[in-house]
Each structure stands twice: as structure tokens, then as C-alpha cells.
Amino acid sequence: MAPRTPLNFLLAIFPGYQLLDLAGPMDIFNILSLEQPDTELTLTFISDTLDPVASKPLPRKNAAWSFDLESAFPHTKGKVNTTFNQYLTPDTTFDEYLKAAEAGELNQEGRLKPVDVLFIPGGFGSRVQRVHPDGSKTSNVQALVDFIPKIAPHIQEAIITVCTGSDILARTGLLDGRRATVNMYRFQSVVEQNPTVKWQNWARWVRSQASEAGDKGVAVDIWSSAGVSAGMDVTLAFITHHYGGLKVSREVAKKLEYDWREIEEAAVDPLYIKHYAK
């Protein structure tokens, strides 16, 4: 049976996302949507509030918390440039979307579409702590970590993670016992925090099929990539699988003038050999 064609993408964002983690893959889908106009792809940005979300560590407007930058950037003693920045505006919030999903109100013709694919980028924001007025700290991505297991039963096709997006997913327990890769530079710290995942740090991208999900897992494919630019590779592999084969993804890569090396699933990335193999 041919794979189902995913239409609706839900892209989670948080302060401190890595721009290329999502911009590269989304531009690939931009090209695909132009090439296949009858494949009516949709994209929804989601976050914990509707405030614009910065790619640098800037709290939301009127936020009652700050960032613990000294712990996240000890080499600069917490000094971080926040004047060269990009913002994305969410379409909905975790709470609003989850409420609609649980009420059966997600509708292909409505504002909030059913979720075929949940897309989770990474970035330093995934490992920064928020400091509250009472001195307590919470993860900058805690709202996302809480949201993922609740929305997981409503995901129709797949979860895609880029870079340390797989670290975020691993914190939910949904990667337990499943294969995944992650940013090679961050690999050691991610493994220490999430030892129950079958990490494949040599891989540029990994597809953990739904059949690999355990009793407590979510029965959808989980596609993960290594760091930053590798998100383009996992996206092209995803297109190969779902939108017409290798010919289609090669044409998309050609139009982007991206030198796609077509590294196979879970194969050793030459960048791993160059920089990390011992």
C-alpha cells in the first residue's frame, strides 16, 4: 500500500530556536508546494503564547521571567547578542490547539487543521532555563515537552525533529527504545540526559518506523536529523517517501541548488568521520 500523503504540518517554536533548523526544511516544502499545487499542504506555527517568538534569548513581551544565560553561555559569562534577531509569529497556542483536538474540532476546512506531521526544531533555547521572580527555574521548552505527549495520539503520520529537537522529544519518553540521531556536537550531553534512546550519533538522519514504538510509545514514524543543515536531508528523505519518490526530491534539491549527498537512512555521515570519529 502506498504511503499516505501528509498535508498538515504543525511546527513548534520557542525562544532560541535555530533558524536553519526550520527555515531549510520549510523552504524545501515551499518548493514542493509550488511543484505539486494539488497537494494542498498547510503549515501552522504553534507556541505557548501568540507573542512573536525570537531566535535569540529574548523573553516574550510582559514575561514575568528572564533567561539564565550565564549557565547556558559560560564561555561568554552570559553575554549574548540579541540585536541581530529574527521573529516568527505563532498561529495558535499549545492550549488552544490541544483543546480543539480533544474536542474533535480540528477540521481540514477550518483554521485549526488536523495534525499529520509535528515538526520540532532545535536550538540553544532547548537547553536554556527560565528564571522566575521567586528564583525557581524551569526549562524554556517545558510547555512544549508537556504538550507533545498530549497531542501525540492525534498525530496521523509522523514526527520530524531537527538537531536538538530530538532531545526535546526524548524528554517526553516517546523516544524510549527507539532509534534517533541528534546534533553531533551536543551528542554527549543529550545521551547522558536521555539514556533510554537508541542514539545513532553517526547518522545524518534516521527514520524510526511506527512498528518500533513500544507499548507506551506513539505509533507514528519518527524522522530525526543531526545538527542544523541535516534537517534539509531528513526533509528530502521524507519527500522521497511520501510525495513521489527520489525523482521529486532530487528536483527540489536542484531548484534549491542544494548539494544533496543522498546519504542513506542511518548510514555514517562523512561529517561524523571528519569531525567526531575516534
State the virtual CA torsion across 221, 225, 228, 234 in degrees, nearest 10: -70
The answer to whether position 203 is within a domain reads yes
How high is the pLDDT of residue 60? Answer: 87
**pTM score over 0.75:** yes
The partner residues of 46 in beta bridges, in order of sequence, read: 12, 92
Is the Cβ–Cβ distance between 18 and 163 less than 8 Å? yes
How high is the pLDDT of residue 2? Answer: 58
Please give the tally of structural domains in the chain. 1
How high is the pLDDT of residue 215? Answer: 80
How high is the pLDDT of residue 1? Answer: 52
| Structure confidence by residue, pLDDT tens digits, 150-183 | 999 999 999 999 999 999 999 999 999 999 999 9
Rounded Cα distance between 207 and 111, Å, is: 30
Is the Cβ–Cβ distance between 127 and 192 less than 8 Å? no
The answer to whether position 3 is within a domain reads no
The answer to whether position 76 is within a domain reads yes
Q: Which residue has the cell 514504538?
A: 213
275 membership: H or E segment, kind and range:
helix 270-275
With a cut of 80, say whether residue 3 has pLDDT above it: no
Instruction: Dump strand ranges (E) for the chain.
Output: 8-12, 42-47, 53-54, 66-67, 87-88, 92-93, 117-120, 129-131, 137-139, 158-161, 179-180, 198-199, 205-208, 221-225
pLDDT-derived band at 61 (thresholds 50, 70, 90) equals confident
The answer to whether position 1 is within a domain reads no
Give me the phi and psi of 173, to 5 degrees please: 90, -5
* Residues constituting the chain: 278
With a cut of 80, say whether residue 128 has pLDDT above it: yes
| Structure confidence by residue, pLDDT tens digits, 74-127 | 999 999 998 999 999 999 999 999 999 999 999 999 999 999 999 999 999 999
Neighbours of 106 (CB within 10 A): 17
Rounded Cα distance between 41 and 169, Å, is: 24
| Structure confidence by residue, pLDDT tens digits, 27-58 | 999 999 999 999 999 999 999 999 999 999 89
Is the Cβ–Cβ distance between 275 and 209 less than 8 Å? no
Q: Which domain range does residue 70 map to?
A: 8-276
Q: What is the mean pLDDT of residues 54-82?
A: 93
Q: What is the mean pLDDT of residues 15-22?
A: 98
Q: What is the mean pLDDT of the chain?
A: 96
The answer to whether position 2 is within a domain reads no
How high is the pLDDT of residue 125? Answer: 96
Q: What does each C-alpha distance from 240 to 2, 218, 233 come to in angstroms? A: 12, 23, 11
| Structure confidence by residue, pLDDT tens digits, 203-253 | 999 999 999 998 878 999 999 999 999 999 999 999 999 999 999 999 999
Neighbours of 28 (CB within 10 A): 24
Share of the chain above pLDDT 90, in %: 94
How high is the pLDDT of residue 57? Answer: 87
Q: What is the mean pLDDT of residues 134-140?
A: 98
What is the distance of C-alpha 32 from the center of its chain? 19
